[in-house]
Amino acid sequence: KHYRDMQDIEFTIEKGKLYMLQTRTGKRTAQANVKIAVDMCKEGLIDKKEAVRRVKPEEIDQLLHPMIDPKAKVEVIAKGLPASPGAAKGKVVFSAQDAVEESKEGEVILVRMETSPEDIAGMHAAQGILTARGGMTSHAAVVARGMGKPCVVGCESITVDYEKEEFRVGDIVVKRGEVITIDGSTGRVILGSAPMVEPQLKGEFAELMRWADEIRKLGVRTNADTPHDAKLAREFGAEGIGLCRTEHMFFAPDRIKAMREMIIARDAEGRKKALEKLLPMQREDFIGIFRVMEGLPVIIRLLDPPLHEFLPQEDEQIREIAEELGVSFEELKAKVEGLRELNPMLGHRGCRLGITYPEITEMQAKAIFEAACQVYKEGKKVIPEIMVPLVGDVNEFRNQKEIIVRVAEEVMEKEGIKIEYMVGTMIEIPRACLVADEIAKEADFYSFGTNDLTQMGFGFSRDDVGKFVPYYIEKGILPRDPFSSLDIKGIGALVKIGIEKGRSVKPELEIGICGEHGGDPDSIKFCHKVGMNYVSCSPFRVPVARLSAAHAVLEEEEEK
């Protein structure tokens, strides 16, 4: 009752007399910490705010994922970046196809130099993902976090050999079929099968989260591209979707062919013909997501990546796809070469695609509003918010908004339905922060894409930072990886400018963040301070974000 916390007490008994030597706050697991905080609150020793304050957001991760038993002795053979928390073990495979096939027989770990959107099926099938290259916002890292799968990226000490189907670390050779364990919370790669501790979510956890929700002011949404992920996030307490990436929907085997037909089409008519095949598929995707998120806002980002990502890069694959599409090897090879860019992250992507090929924006807008109308007819409330990516100038946004609004009105008039919707943009280019007042005259909402904003603000390639950022941290040049936790001094200043300029024109402008920083506790505190409406993060980070948002309020109260 005096310390109002669980204590470790040292004592001795001498000649029948008890002597109290010292006492200190007792160490405990994350699960025990949650239970103690809730129990003490119910006993009247502490209040709800103190109970919430005592559980650190970082601890919540331990409650949501399997962990390696801390008492176990393990053989660590390499270390990379801890891209997605939790531990996983399984037989090593080196291709997405092998992951899909072999996962039917048992657990597998997918090992790649780096992943691409074509590896999605294999990533789904694998227990965990290990890559030799990449940073905290690389494809593997972002997708794995969204799936809730353990992932270690940027493990530069391993050499992957696809032909021999093995990877090497110094003198150690790990071949296909051998078992490894990866720890996505620490970045460790372990030889063999390490003993695990399974997560246990009990009633106290749900109760503590309810108390956190009573305290926080920031909304918490999720980054989800499928009905499954959206449902999971809603169960974790998400209040909408802050980022639905439409490009992942095009990589399914039944869709990639139509997507490739669209890319190699010689004119707009050819592209429209291919897009007509994709329209019903895309519409079904959105119907599924709108149903799951009934009554909650859903922000859908239009196509963002450069088109070369949808085409094969190796000659052997190009021959196969050319035959499948009914074109010559030379024609497809020329198209692949023509789309290749020296710096694709700064190239022909985002709204630039929609401006060059307006039929892509038309198809996506049509799919969104046809889906919204259908779900509305089922008696469900639908709140679509369409987001235009990579805008750096108000004229880019205006161009895309005109297409979206025109298609929306056409669909709603045809269906005889009126649905409230918003059209906004992703603020991810530094220039957009500086002209945010101009863009706000046209946009209904802003969502800060801090992955790209960090990349362009620092001039760091987010797929290559694993090579040097660990040394920066080790030598004290940077306090932490800026792709994991927002750089408040620099990138944060750009965000602040963007918010102030945007709200100087529209005081009620809806503003959120949908980069991976949306699940980082320190970044969330910054989002609270600068007056954002919500943060958005991968489904498994939603509870972390809810608790972090509550901590931001409690810290603000303490400062006053």
- Please give the positions annotated as active site: 139, 514
Both tokens assigned to 476: 């004290």
Task: Work out the number of other CB atoms within 10 angstroms of the CB of residue 34.
Answer: 25
Calculate ∠ Cα 315-316-320, nearest 5°: 110
Q: Which two tokens stand for residue 315?
A: 């000659």
Q: Is 39 exposed, middle or buried (0-12, 13-18, 19+ CB in 10 A)?
A: middle
Q: Answer yes or no: are the C-beta atoms of 166 and 80 closer than 8 Å.
A: no
Instruction: Scan for tokens 């506790």, then name that residue.
Output: 521
* CA 242 – CA 537 distance, rounded (Å): 8
Q: Decide if 87 contacts 66 (C-beta within 8 A).
A: yes
Whose structure tokens read 């694959």? 317
Tokens of 271: 């592209």
Return the structure tokens found at 536.
């958005």
Walk across the sheet containing 87-93 and list its strands. Answer: 75-79, 188-191, 179-183, 87-93, 108-112, 128-131, 151-153, 81-84
Structural contact between residues 260 and 313, judged by C-beta atoms closer than 8 angstroms: no
Contact 503, 526 (CB under 8 A): no
**How far is 89 from 177, CA to CA, in rounded Å?**
12
Amino acid (one-letter) located at 196: M
415 burial via Cβ count (<10 Å: 0-12, 13-18, 19+): middle
Greatest pairwise CA separation for the chain in angstroms: 98
Residue 284, Cβ density class (10 Å: 0-12 exposed, 13-18 middle, ≥19 buried): middle
Q: Rounded CA gap, 392 and 90, in Å?
A: 44
Q: Which residues contact 518 (CB under 8 A, 6 or more apart)?
A: 223, 242, 450, 512, 524, 527, 535, 536, 537, 541, 545
Nearest alpha-carbon partner for 524 in 488, 560, 500: 488
CB under 8 Å to 417, separation ≥6 — which residues? 373, 376, 377
CA dist 53 and 547 (Å) reads 9
